[in-house]
Amino acid sequence: MSTAVNATGPSCVACGTRGLRDHLRVAGEMGADGLIPTTDRYGTALADIVRCPACGHMQLSPMPQDAVLEQAYADAASADYVAEEVGQRETARRALERIERHAARTEELLDLGCWVGFLLAEARDRGWRTTGVEPSTFASAFARDELGLDVRTEDLFTAALPSAGYDAVVLGDVLEHLPRPGEALQRIAALLRPGGVAWFALPDAGSAVARGLGARWWSVLPTHVQYFTRTSVRTLLRTHGWEVLEVATAPKAFTVRYYLERLAGYSPALSRTAVGAAARVGLAERLWAPDFRDRMQVLARPLRG
């Protein structure tokens, strides 16, 4: 497609550059299921994607209205991650190990966008005192009712949370959903105690897989409004006064069945065949954490003036 400058469009959320360039024509609808974490609507976003010529960051243009996103996330409901609890907990333990390497203290942990709360449950088992914020009525109710967690059905910007109250703040697969991620970083910095750290997990739009698949990459989804690269997420953090401590890949553990079912976004027939073959040889329910190197985890700490 054309790479013409979108001169009248927005500024880059990572570095502030204007004159973003048209990148991918992927505008479409969110679909009947709404904005859920397990969609297989690959290659569809709520607007086309533009790219910053300075830092390489990609974002939707125009950005969806806040009210549309807020309502969609409040209504989001899916049991797919609940069914994958074993793998979700394994993924959470790996994240917590990284966090505990860098946090000055391991007492209070806040998970912003915690979905059904498996990371919070694992953190509680490790001795953390935990709090979660989740806009989905379905997911936050599950976290409270089934796991006994302190999870508020609220928005990360407006939830009543204590300043300097946490040793770690987690945003797992959240930053890419936010129209104004810089404001989120300012909010998180105010919530962290001195020596506290934030852990982010998000798709890596600069990875070889993402570049190779282009518009058909499985992270080009209606749920995503930002497409960070390792460079652009570092730029965003530095711009807002953060020190990057570590950047690494972040594979997720799911059953083989779950991963093969995701192939339906490309070919339903292939997905059915692959799931059936895995079931016949006894592999379908085995945990698998393939590292496609297109999902990153970032640990960072706000610089104190």
What secondary structure, in 3-state letters, does 185-232 show? HHHHHHHEEEEEEEEEEEECCCCHHHHHHHHHCCCCCCCCCEECCHHH
Q: What is the pLDDT of residue 1?
A: 41
pTM of the model: 0.95
CA distance 124 to 120: 6
- Percent of the chain residues topping a pLDDT of 70: 97
Using the predicted structure, report yes or no on whether residue 94 has a pLDDT greater than 50.
Answer: yes
At residue 278, does pLDDT exceed 60?
yes
pLDDT attached to residue 57: 98
Report the amino acid identity of residue 160: A
Question: In this structure, what DSSP letter does residue 177 have?
Answer: G
Which sequence spans correspond to the domains of the chain?
21-253+289-302
Q: What is the mean pLDDT of the chain?
A: 95
CB 295 within 8 A of CB 268: no
Residue 9 has pLDDT above 90, yes or no: no
pLDDT score of 4 more than 80:
no
Q: Of 3.40.50.150, 3.10.129.10, 1.10.1040.10, 3.40.1000.10, which CATH number belongs to 21-253+289-302?
A: 3.40.50.150
Query: What is the average per-residue pLDDT within 65-71?
Result: 94
The whole-number pLDDT of residue 38 equals: 86
* pLDDT, greater one: 75 or 9: 75
pLDDT of residue 305: 54
Mean pLDDT of the 251-266 span: 97
> With 60 as the cut, is the pLDDT of residue 268 above it?
yes
45 secondary structure, DSSP code:
B
Per-residue buried b or exposed e for 247-260, using 16+ beta carbons within 10 Å of the residue's own CB: beebbbbbbbbbbb
* Residue range 38-54: mean pLDDT, rounded: 95
Q: Is the pLDDT of residue 271 over 60?
A: yes
CB atoms within 10 A of CB 42: 18
